[in-house]
Structure 1
Amino acid sequence: MYCQHCGTRNEREAVYCSSCGKPLKARKTPGWVIPVVLSCLLILTGSAAGIGYYTDWDFGSLLNQGKQQTPALEQQAEAGSQSPLKPVSSGPAAPIKSVPPDKEKTEVIKESLPRVFTIFTRDGLGSGFLYKKGGLIVTNAHVVAGFTDVVVRNSDGKDAAGKVIGISDKYDVALIRSDAYSKLAPLVSETKETPIGTEVIALGSPQGFENSASVGYLTGLNRDMELGFVYEKIYQIDAQIDQGSSGGPLLDAKTGKVIGINSLLYKENNLFGFSIPMYSVLDLVNRWAAAPMSESAVASLFGIYDSYTASSNFDSDIAYDDEYTDFYDDSDSYYGDDYDEYSDTYEDESAAGVFADDGLYDFMSSFRMDYEEALVYKEGFSPISHYFLPGTASTAAFASFVDEVAADDRIYEFYESEITEIEIQDDRSFVTMYLSYSVADSRGEQNFFEKRKQYTILADEYGGYKISNAADL
């Protein structure tokens, strides 16, 4: 470095001139140097950013990690001193709304079927589903019309007792309680209207084929009808349903929620049906759940169902459109062929006017239902004793047998109980039935039986029927 005062050459690092002793001035950096250096830095930064983009590196995190590992900051942290840099607080984090993922249809069906039931009465069958914990099951009113006690069969084929605790004479809705399912978690119900075009699943027992599922779409809204019951703003669906589907749930195929109660079928082509929107009957069903109707209150409404027969045709006095059916006809009969088969043959009520074919049919159908329940649920003879004429050998034999079954491990399962013949005489009548059932012993060995049994029916002093004898044919 040369001194600007005397021109003497000095060392590069010298601050004062070695000759004149005056301070030396540093040489200015040429003007072109700074732009060149900055350009180089920009090129390097851009390349680094490009690598980070294509290789998905997080250079900010790497730089922060480098900063955290500097000895100065480590010493400062160990010394407990506060950093001069403080993070900026943005307040509490906003909650993130989680949307449950859509379910596969197979998953929806698998989860729902254990909560869908086949409902049996002496006149037929329908479907139902578990609505609320405590064994509360929703179905159509026309499925259980005229009955307070029903049989509830689950997807595994096991039967349990059910009692109607709510039924409407205006809307086609009823509520059943079955204690056997009191601890089972219910299906979830939709509380608002479902939009048209939603994919749906209909579950139930069409034509008695239990555990059936069909998939379709909600194809119409706000259909109003009056077919014995008032149907308001009901859903139109193209999922396949049929007789026996009544009371079964209509599910949203993605969420699995119950959006409707399958209730009507368009008979013209069977291509679409109708379902009562679940949201429209929640208040009614919840009132029954909170304050169940008494048995006498349920029975007091049965008069309005006089127009129903086993074929479910409404009386001519009730507005009814032949294009629609409520699925509830003679093909669903739990006790075999419909009584109409006998009405043409046995129109005469007998010479004495005591016996009538319809009365005998109803009496024996009621007896067989109660008798089978007494064996299946091991209730003993007492609940069915009123069907028998006191003091006869046959009554004593029945009492001994039923009480014996109630005390041992035998398991009965009944398949068919069909009245095949009714013969009316002056002082007695004979009812012949075809029966099929199985009996499993304590070791699990199961035996199947088929038989024809003839019951002798007498009338007491009040005109009531009593069984005096039963014999295998």
Structure 2
Amino acid sequence: MTCNKCGKENEEGAKFCKDCGNSLMQRRSKKQKKRNLMYAIVLVLTLLGVGIGSAQLMEDEAEPVEPPKEELTAEIEPEPEPEPEAPEVEEETEEEPAIEPGVVEKVEEPEETVPAEEETAGTVTKVENVVPPSEQPEKVEPKKKEKTAIIKESQQKVYTILTEGGQGSGFLFSNTGMVVTNAHAVAGFTDVVVRNINGQDHPGTVVGISDESDIALIHVEAFEGIEPLEVEMEATDVGTEVIALGSPAGMENTASMGYLTGIDRDFYQEFTYEDIYQIDAKIAPGSSGGPLVDATTGKVIGINSLVIEEGDSIGFSIPMYSMHDQLSQWVTAPMSAEEVAALFQVYDDFNGYEDEEYEYDIDLEMKFDETNLSEFIGDFRYYYETSLKEEDFFYVQNLLVYESEIYNGISEYITDIAGQGMEFNFTQLDIAGIEIFEDHAIVHTEEAFDQKNAAGEWSVQERNKTYTIVMDEYGFYYVSDIVNKE
């Protein structure tokens, strides 16, 4: 036997070279271990082919793989390998993991599904957190409306209250035809006239009135079945944008914008006003009893009642939530005519309600006023611009003499421009002069506005206009004619 290290011939069966001492069993051992390794690999591949359908079966069949490893270890460990041969033993040990990939693969197959399951569970958790109730507060917020829509809807249920002593305003409170107004607007009367936005007059009867709080309730049979304005039952914050509706200074059913500028104001006059709202929206005599509306929600928050006209006018409105219970009580249990009459001294000279010969001796003569005429033209321009913007004749029609030439002309013009994309921005309105005659008044103005035509082209338009204003028996102003002098 030849030593593979020094080439010296040795006796057959010798384990070590007699010359250099090198192990003569090394090559045979390596070949044997390689054969054992091949047997183990074939066995593992066979087991994988049989057990691929089940992870559990693969785990059970993996056990036969272990004996070859033990046999290899048993063969390697007894050999008295000298120090020079240590690297070769480490090299052989590195060859053994060739078996491990098969074993590891079988063990890791079922484990690979664990992360997938964990990921799925995490995904489910995320889905559940997408729309929790705590993240949906917007659904319970009060519904917001456009201001123009609020004005248009509210004006349908805002009325002018007419008596032989003057006029005021009111609004629909219940679907039983009950209209709220101020007590001072109807004090001394049980029978009144209630005029709607279309100028139609209906008889009304005072069925509730207070001599402490400035509130009253009128029943109008013609309004039964109509849904009332929605009422705000909570206190309103300072800074809230508001709309005051009513018939101020002879201007029937108009609206003015402003803000709630104060709360908890107290006044003690003919009536007691406690914790009332202060507003900067324009109101004037004739606005009394009209609604103060939240410009965002459209709900009635107050009853317009007082105005201080020194300097910049300041208005005051009774909070609706504070009067709701009393008004509701009158709806279900109305006062009698005698109970209403007993509250005010004006009835002392009134000899019963069956005395048909009784006549009121009150001077109801109405006169034109320059200040009111100027304000009326300003309001007319505002509502005319709104009609152009909204392409709706509704907003300006009640300020024009019904079926007059200018009434029909403006109506047709708004219809003609609808849908063409035209825009109007009013930039100037100056009162150049006012002439007052016995049955009408003339107001001269200088006006300017920016206009975009149907082709999308902008231009500046300037006008010198002459308005002819007439007044009805209740003091309401109307435009009967407009002449343009370019």
- TM-score (ref. length: structure 2): 0.47
Larger Rg: 2
Higher helix fraction (1 or 2): 2
